[in-house]
Structure 1
Amino acid sequence: MAGLYIHIPFCAKRCSYCGFYSTTRLNMQNEYVDSICQEIFLRKNYLSSLGSVNGADNIVRTIYIGGGTPSQLSSLNFERIFDAIHENFECSEDEVTVEVNPDDVTNELAALFSMLHVNRVSMGAQTFDDNLLRFLNRRHKSCQVDNAVDILRKHGILNISIDLMFGFPNQTMDTWIKDITHAIKLGVQHISAYSLMYEEGTLLYKMLQENKIREIDENLSLSMYNKLMDMMSNAGYEHYEISNFAKKGYRALHNSSYWHDVPYIGIGAAAHSYNKQTRQWNVSDIDKYIESIRQDTVPFTFEDIDEDTHYNDIVTTVLRTAEGIDLTLLDSKYAKYIVQQSAKHIEEKNVEIINNHLKLTREGIYISDLIMSDLMIV
């Protein structure tokens, strides 16, 4: 089985921190969805061509519609996308996720999701501080998150995830604790939490370069992450990936496929696909994407994945998870190499081996990038 990702790049306005491919050209929605549906048709045999040797078949286990802001789509365009999916793929629909902005969630949208068998919603809350939301150039107000959760539950969508961010300029520990507390009180099944990043090309990065803002103190940022782990654990959430916490039975299945070397197909501008032999990514330009699809050609670049690259991919993805890397699944030369490279970190108690699984300790999470770099083949 495999995952299907569909990228919807439309946003009413850009957030100051976002580095994902997006556009505010909402008038292109219809022709973009035309292209998505056509690409689904053009690539309907991508998964079945992999064969069982790669752990995939033509059955789509998870569907994830992300962006951008998918909740900006019209009802008709949502229906067209789901019709195209079911016409071209066999779907088990273990998990069907759509990303939403809180202020887009209405009774009509929730009813549509229910009709389309969407069973999971991922919502960009980011923070419950309205001043910080304005700083991020977010459209919604904090109270709209609570309202959106209530509406979704009323329509039977009970698997809800929210995103939080921390490490804002001038943010205090008290405001961060309030955000975590609010999220926990909402009783959502899943919470993702990310440290604020300054990605080149974003408004936030420009402000940093112009000395209009300053990055938060690194020690305070680490303390915030520590507080997050403690509070989430005390509230009964499982810390199953560096940035992700879930109630029992509610891990994100689609995203977990990325972290566990499961093949997936990506549809739309800037979408990525992976089949263990190659990795490919569609052009990050809506005009070029639409023009190419009109000529029945998917505009992508790709790279071949040799054994060393595959090993490095495992290090940078699987090691992020609570289970860590199953050494018995590695070729013997890679298993030997990773154990040798881990020796120093094991001695320093940043990495441990339990039941043939190499995993980060709590202390190791803080320097996970350094550890991964040490374990990779260059």
Structure 2
Amino acid sequence: MAGIYLHIPFCKQACYYCDFHFSTSLKKKKELVSCLVRELELRKEELQNEVIETIYFGGGTPSLLSIQEIELLLKTICKNYTVVNKPEITLEANPDDLSEGKIIELANTPINRLSIGIQSFFEEDLQLMNRAHNAQEATECLSVATRHFDNITIDLIYGVPNMSNERWRENLQIAFDFGINHISSYALTVEPKTALDSFIKQGKYPDVDEAVAKEHFDILVAETAKNGFVHYEISNFGKPNYFSKHNTSYWLGKKYIGIGPSAHSFNKTHRSWNVANNAKYIKAIQEGKLPLEQEKLTIKDQFNEYLMTGLRTIWGVSLEKIAQDFGEEFRKELLKNAEKFITQGLLIIVNEENQTEPSYNDGGVLKTTSKGKFLADGLASELFII
């Protein structure tokens, strides 16, 4: 099984924290969609022996696409690739694009999962982030969307300056009250060269506080658990049967191709990425060329990647898989390096069958403890084999 990701590099305006590739000019949208179609055709051989189980429209803001453009891309995929019956098809959307008419139109397409970028239900937070929608649009779009889509995930950002613990709890409660079955939630992060980075350096914006983010994360974990969510990946919380199949495929190391400017692809041994420039992307595709760079992953790269993704999930890192895929020396090195973090109560080895009982045998699974979850990425980097 494999997945297809389509990057739609357009936004109405730039969020202060965002470092993804996008353009606020829609002048080349029609031209770019034609090139997405062409790239799908050019790359069909890459997945000729795979069955597509997930399709993901990301960005940028895919909800800026017309229904006709969405359907054109989906028809191109079905024509050129082998697709399972009823694949998971996700469309990222912003509340300001989701009028009742647009939601009804989307519900009549093969799209069966909406990922809505709420970020916060409070006006002051949205303004600090420079979001294109307001608090009223956030709730209004969910009122309509939940009547037409069962599978909805929303994004929420925590660790926002001046966001109290109480306001963070209110954000979560509003989501629960709407009956949302999946939440993706991220700490506000200061990425280099973003507007947020510049404002903080100029003293125009308060710096983020990791201690506040940690408090919000702990609240997030506790409140979602109370409401029946499974914390299946560091930033993702889903009720049973509502986990993101597409994102889970990334974490489990399945193959996928990324279509569009800046999109990444992975085939287990190689990783590639398209040029992050709309004009250069369009020019190359129109000339029948793939505007991508590729790197072969060394055995250490593959090990480190599995470690990074595995520790972020409830499935952890299988010691048996390490030995089988990378060799016994990698397993021994991992156990040696993990020992101090196990002693500190940040990592644990559990029995592979039920993943509840501590076990230090060869068939165990290395996972973060509740204490270590927030530190998962840092722990993984400490365990990398360089």
Q: Is TM more than 0.5 here? A: yes
Deviations 1:314-370 (A, max 9, x none): 011111001201111113222222111111111111101111111000111132233
Q: Is 2:34 the partner of 1:39?
A: no
1:152 aligns to what? 145
**Of residues 74, 86, 96 in structure 1, which corresponds to 2:89?**
96
Measured in 2, the distance between the counterparts of 1:288 and 1:216 equals: 35
Alignment-derived partner of residue 54 in structure 1: none
SS at match of 1:86: helix
Whether 1:350 and 2:353 are equivalent positions in the alignment is no
Match of residue 240 from structure 2: 248
Higher mean alpha-carbon deviation, 118-127 vs 180-189, is at 180-189
SS of 2:184's equivalent in the other structure is: strand
- Residue matched to 2:103: 110
SS class of match (1:279): strand
Residue 363 of structure 1: aligned partner: 371
For residues 288 and 104 of structure 2, the distance between their equivalents in structure 1, rounded to whole angstroms, comes to: 34
In structure 2, C-alpha distance between the alignment counterparts of 1:312 and 1:109, rounded to whole Å = 42
Tell me how far 1:204 sits from its aligned partner.
0.7
SS of equivalent residue, structure 1 residue 346: helix
Query: In the TM superposition, what is the alpha-carbon distance from 1:151 to its structure 2 partner?
Result: 2.2
Contact map agreement 1:351 1:358 (CA 8 A) in 2 = yes
Query: How far apart are the structure 1 equivalents of 2:121 and 2:101?
Result: 25
1:132 is matched with which residue: 125, 132, 135? Answer: 125
Structure 2: any 5+ residue segments left out of the alignment?
352-363
Q: Which residue of 2 aligns with 1:53?
A: none
- Looking at structure 2, the residues matched to 96 and 369 of structure 1 have their Cα atoms a distance apart, in angstroms, of 28
Q: Which amino acid aligns with 1:328?
A: E
For the residues of structure 2 that align with 1:298 and 1:112, how far apart are their CA atoms?
33
Q: Which amino acid aligns with 2:42?
A: L
| Deviation sequence 1:6-65 (CA, Å, 0-9, x none) | 0001111111111110101112110000000000000011112xxxxxxxx331110000
Matched, 1:23 2:15: no
Give the aligned partner of residue 299 of structure 2. Answer: 307
Partner of 2:356: none
Partner Cα distance (1:371, 1:308) in 2? 17
Say whether 1:261 aligns with 2:265: no
Residue 116 of structure 1 aligns to a residue whose secondary structure is coil
Amino acid corresponding to residue 310 of structure 2 in structure 1:
V
Shift of 1:115: 2.8
Match of 1:52 in 2: none
Q: Distance in 2 between matches of 1:250 and 1:313?
A: 25
Deviation at 1:206, TM superposition (A): 0.6
Q: Give the whole-Å Cα distance in 2 for the aligned partners of 1:87 and 1:219.
A: 50
**2:136 corresponds to:** 143
Three-state SS of the structure 2 residue aligned to 1:24 is coil
Give the 3-state SS of the residue equivalent to 1:45 in structure 2: helix
Q: Secondary structure at the match of 1:26?
A: coil
SS class of match (2:56):
strand
What does the per-residue CA deviation read over 1:148-193, in whole Å, with 9 as the maximum and x for residues that have no partner?
22322333x2100000001112221121111111111111110011
The code of the aligned residue for 2:378 comes to L
SS in 1 for 2:28: helix
Q: How does 1:320-339 map to 2 (within 5 A)?
A: 320-331=312-323, 332-339=328-335
The answer (yes or no) to whether the contact 1:7–1:66 under 8 Å persists in 2 is yes
1:179-258 to structure 2, matched below 5 A, reads 179-258=171-250
The one-letter code sitting in structure 2 at the alignment partner of 1:353 is: I
Tell me which amino acid in the other structure corresponds to 1:231: E
CA-CA distance at 1:202 after TM superposition = 1.2
Coordinate RMSD, CA, aligned: 1.2
Question: Is structure 2 residue 358 aligned with structure 1 residue 377?
Answer: no
How many residue pairs get matched? 369
Aligned partners of 1:220, 1:320: CA distance in 2, in Å? 21
Measure how far apart 1:126 and its partner are: 0.3
Seen in structure 2, the aligned counterparts of structure 1 residues 153 and 366 have a Cα distance that, compared at 3 Å, is: closer
| Amino acid paired to 1:124 | G
Q: Does the residue aligned with 2:39 lie in a helix, a strand or coil?
A: helix
TM-score by length of 1: 0.95
Q: CA deviation at 1:217?
A: 3.1
**SS of match in other structure, 2:133:** coil
1:8 paired with 2:8, answer yes
Unaligned runs of 5+ in 1: 49-56
- Tell me the amino acid that sits aligned with residue 384 of structure 2: M
